[in-house]
Amino acid sequence: MKYLTYQQTKVPALGLGTWKAKKGEVYGAVREALHIGYTHVDCAPAYMNETEVGAALKEMTGSGQMRREDLWVTSKLWNNAHLPGDVQPALKKTLTDLQLDSLDLYLIHWPVAFKPEVALPKSGDDYLSLQEAPIIDTWQAMEECVAAGLVRHIGVCNFNIAKLEDLLAKAAIAPMMNQIELHPYLQQQKMLEFCRQRQVLVTAYSPLGSPDRPKGMKKKNEPTLLGHEAIKAIAKKHGVSPAQVLIAWGLQRQTAVIPKSINQVRLRENLEAAELRLEENDLRHIAKLERGYRYVDGAFWEMPGSGYSTKELWDD
């Protein structure tokens, strides 16, 4: 298993994504993943499956098949708990659901805030602005969670460089991680350079292009990553699958990569991608695929009166 290093901490570079993994299938998937050698699970209360994930974690650690300290568990603060008084209760609910005493990493899921009673907004009225719920206030409440021993590390998701820079300037505990969409169509070169300079780790989400997203989140004629001819040709040359090429590419760029699968064969296939070494020539071909394309583009937070827009979210 490859690791990313942050100060004295080692983060397993390959993790299991759990978004869209349904009740009834996620328990078996997490158990199987840990059984075959995954040591990193990416969770969130917004995925509505932390109870099942927690049952699988408990089964593996409680039965002695795995030690808690050999497992890296990440979860995220949902957008309706950004007000400082709501942060610790939200984290405690996640800990209860995951059956853990503490998390390895807790992330702000989006730099977007909802009113506390709103799970998913229906209108602009359901949002809080970043003036009403400043990121730094949320962050200080996250820092208190570290002090309380409830999480070892804290970080963010979906932050652009300007937001990260602002947070780094104000934070007492620097964010360990920015979890962002990253794959050959969205290579995030500037972000990677910025994070390298400022010692923030990067996790690549939707590394396979998130083909199982709900229809409502998909655009017409989306480009497919797994079916791209260049990816398929590189896969054929190495005798591996396109998914393995995409995962190996992310790992070779020193990012954590968290492909989601609930399928036994694909779980193993994805894990084995860590053994694949792409050649310079492969990397040059993949570099040419950049097209600034986001599958998870945040347009769902754009509604009249919300105050949030894709323009404001991303630097590009």
Q: Which of residues 28-57 bind ligand NAP (CB under 6 A)?
A: 42
* Identified binder of ligand NAP from the candidate list 12, 209, 250, 307, rule CB under 6 A: 209
Catalytic pick among 38, 47, 106, 205: 47
Helix or strand run (H / E) with residue 30: helix 26-36
Q: Which stretch binds ligand NAP (CB under 6 A): 13-21, 97-105, 130-138, 144-152?
A: 13-21
C-beta of 100 vs 208, nearer to ligand NAP:
208
For the CB of residue 210, give the shortest distance to ligand NAP in the complex, in Å.
Answer: 3
| The length of the chain, given as a count of residues | 316
Q: Which of 11, 12, 14, 18 binds ligand NAP (CB under 6 A)?
A: 18
Which candidate, 115, 20, 178, places its Cα nearest to that of 306?
A: 115
Residues of span 217-276 touching ligand NAP by CB under 6 A: 226, 241, 243, 258-263, 266, 269-270
Q: Is 47 a catalytic residue?
A: yes
Q: Which stretch binds ligand NAP (CB under 6 A): 3-11, 128-136, 209-217, 278-286?
A: 209-217
Task: Kindly tell me which of 229 and 280 has the beta carbon lying closer to ligand NAP.
Answer: 229
Query: With CB under 6 A, what is the number of residues at the site for ligand NAP?
Result: 30
User: Considering the complex, what minimum distance in angstroms separates the CB of residue 266 from ligand NAP?
Assistant: 4
Site residues for ligand NAP, 101-140, by CB under 6 A, read 109
Q: From the list 12, 17, 45, 121, which residue makes contact with ligand NAP (rule: CB under 6 A)?
A: 17
Closest separation between CB of residue 11 and ligand NAP, Å? 15
Triad 222, 227, 232: Cα angle to 5° = 150
Minimum Å gap between C-beta 8 and ligand NAP is 25
> What is the nearest approach in angstroms of ligand NAP to the Cβ of residue 114?
15
- The CA-atom distances, in angstroms, between 111 and each of 5, 237, 247, 262 are 25, 41, 26, 29
Backbone torsions φ then ψ of 14, nearest 5 degrees: -105, 125
Q: Pairing between strand 127-128 and 113-114? A: antiparallel
Q: Binding to ligand NAP (CB under 6 A): which residues in 165-204?
A: 179
Q: Which of 171, 296, 299, 303 binds ligand NAP (CB under 6 A)?
A: 296
Asked if residue 157 binds ligand NAP (CB under 6 A), the reply is yes
265 burial level (CB within 10 Å; 0-12, 13-18, 19+) = exposed
Which run of H or E residues covers position 165? helix 161-170
Q: Is 205 within 8 Å of 183 (Cβ atoms)?
A: no
Question: Scanning residues 55 to 94, which ones bind ligand NAP (CB under 6 A)?
Answer: none
CA-to-CA distance for 90 and 95, rounded, in angstroms?
9
> Do 54 and 98 form a contact (C-beta atoms < 8 A)?
yes
Listed in order, strand segments (DSSP E) in the chain are 3-6, 9-12, 16-17, 40-42, 72-77, 103-108, 113-114, 127-128, 151-157, 177-181, 201-205, 256-257
**CB of 76 within 8 A of CB of 107?**
yes
Centre a 10 Å sphere on the Cβ of residue 290 and count the other Cβ atoms it contains: 14
CB of 263: closest distance to ligand NAP in angstroms? Answer: 4
Residues assigned a catalytic role: 47
User: Interface with ligand NAP by CB under 6 A: which residues?
Assistant: 17-20, 42, 109, 157-158, 179, 205-212, 226, 241, 243, 258-263, 266, 269-270, 296
